[in-house]
Amino acid sequence: MNKNKIIFAILWILLLVLFIFLLLNFNKKAANTNISRSWELVVWLLWDESEWFKKVFDEFKKSSKEYEWKTIKIESFASYDDYFYTLNSAIISWKSPDIFVLNNNEKKSTFTEQVVWINPNIVNPNDFRKKFKWVFADDLIMSSWEWEQKTEFLVWIPVWYEALWIYFNRKYVKESELSSISSLNNLVAKIKESKPEITPIWIWNWFSVFWVSDILTQFLMLESDVSWLKDVTWDKMKQWLASYMLYWDISWDNAYNERIEEMNKSWENSLDLFSKWDTFMLVWYPRLLEQINKKWFSKNFLLASVFPQYVNGKWKALINYNYFVINKESKNQDVASKFLWYLASDKWAKQYLDNYKYYLPALLSLESDKLEEKVNSAYNIVLWNFYSSDYDLSSFDKWIKTIYDEWIISILDNVSWYQKDFDNFRDSIVCKAEKLATLDWLSKSCVK
């Protein structure tokens, strides 16, 4: 072979190598582009500030370099109804998020089959029981049977919870007067007598900025010590109504109803009354402090306390929380699993709670530190004000939360409920929930 042919052959080999290199490099870039598009993590929240959640995720990326270029898209819903129906629609249309939340007060969720369960080899249920408050083990540890062998597994890991508080005006209310239900009853009677123009405690309002269904449920749990709707009998319901009516004069010529008419016309709510000192006590979760602050309530006169219980016995205190779950159809289960696992650690759970200061910690190890912190720097209110080790924390299974929340409020619009009406409703909602969960007896009518 002459010299020219050798040079020509070498050039062809170099060109071929260059072509292969460029082709491989192009494919690599294209693959990275496709990965980056599919690696947008979509998270749906309920009630939580999305920007605060993004801060937590940004810190997660700094510690997990393999995900530092990962983007996150967060949607946060203020209404449970909006969240429930939108998530249903998203799942049906194959547009559901990678991570979403479920609420503890609906045990047989319609989304249960959409969730990836945690392998017990990754998170041991017994270890979970030791690290988290016991109520979470009751709610989130499930079991399955295979070949006559029982296996326990965790649904997913919670970060926070909240319990009902009483915010009060310390000029007219002493914390010692909220030590028990009987003390609260005496206080309400005293205020009604000395200041008849004042509504002592506001626990119902058609135009309120927050739902009242949980407040009413807490009264029901106090009177009957139940933790799910199926166990609520008519006798227990009557007992609850009698207790609740102590705080609400239903005659049409009283100042309470006159005030409601005024509020309807002016589009005011209970927060407006509280800020104007037309009512001395409000009941809701710790996050209400953010709304109270926007109403410019006097910082020197606002205090808070745990929701009172009866003196005798250990009664159930309603709690509310959302726990994060991974969509079984997610293409990002690796980063989703790692991120949620991080939230179960002391460091990352604390960072999450540093952003959402009005939540109580689910981890036992964080209680001593977090409970000393102020909920809002402008007020002398810390989480310890709303914590009691004597209370039996409990979820309440509403079976179908959207229906239950609407129904229990309707009781107050029609106090002449009859046993047959109540029994029919309870049986109807339980029937609907069981059909949704099991997909059995679908042709069966749930209406009697």
So what's the pLDDT on residue 256? 53
Residues in the chain: 448
- Please say if the pLDDT value at position 443 is more than 70: yes
| C-beta neighbour count of 376 within 10 angstroms | 16
- 422, 404 in Cβ contact below 8 A? no
Tokens 């179908």: give the residue.
400
Beta strands in 95-158 (DSSP E): 99-103, 141-146, 149-154
Q: How confident is the model at residue 36 (pLDDT cuts 50, 70, 90)?
A: very low
Query: Other CB atoms closer than 10 Å to residue 41's CB: what's the count?
Result: 20
pLDDT of residue 26: 43
What confidence tens digit (pLDDT) does each residue in 221-235 have?
887 678 888 888 878
pLDDT of residue 37: 39
A 10 A CB-CB count for 384 gives 14
Q: Is the pLDDT of residue 416 over 50?
A: yes
For CA atoms 117, 118, 120, 125, the dihedral sign is negative
Tokens 């898209």 -> residue:
73
- Residue-wise pLDDT for 402-412, tens only, equals 888 888 777 66
Token reading at 165:
């508080």
pLDDT band at 257 (very low <50, low <70, confident <90, very high): low
The answer to whether 401 and 105 have CB atoms below 8 angstroms apart is yes
pLDDT number for residue 32:
41
Q: Output the pLDDT for position 448.
A: 65
Q: Is the pLDDT of residue 44 over 90?
A: yes
CB within 8 Å of 231: residues ≥ 6 apart: 224
Which amino acid appears at position 123 of this protein?
A: V
The reported pLDDT for the residue numbered 29 is 42
Are 285 and 68 in contact by the 8 Å Cβ rule? The answer is: no
| Cα–Cα distance measured from residue 396 to residue 142, given in angstroms and rounded to the nearest whole number | 17
Category of 110 on φ-ψ map: left (φ > 0), alpha (ψ -120 to 50) or beta: alpha
SS3 content of the chain, % helix, strand, coil (to 5): 50, 15, 35
More confidently predicted of 253 and 347: 347
Q: In what order do the strands lie in the sheet with 279-284?
A: 199-202, 279-284, 165-169, 302-306
Q: Is 312 exposed, middle or buried (0-12, 13-18, 19+ CB in 10 A)?
A: exposed
Q: What percent of the chain has pLDDT over 70?
A: 80
Q: What is the pLDDT of residue 146?
A: 52
Q: Tell me which of 77 and 436 has the higher pLDDT.
A: 77
φ, ψ for residue 117 (rounded to 5)?
-80, 155
Give the DSSP H or E segment for 185.
helix 181-194
pLDDT at 24 over 50: no
| Dihedral over Cα of 101, 106, 107, 110: its sign | negative
Average pLDDT over residues 62-72: 83
Cβ atoms of 231 and 312 within 8 Å: the answer is no
User: How high is the pLDDT of residue 2?
Assistant: 54
Which pLDDT tens digit goes with each residue over 291-341? 888 887 888 899 999 888 877 666 788 999 999 999 999 989 888 888 888
Q: What is the pLDDT of residue 446?
A: 81
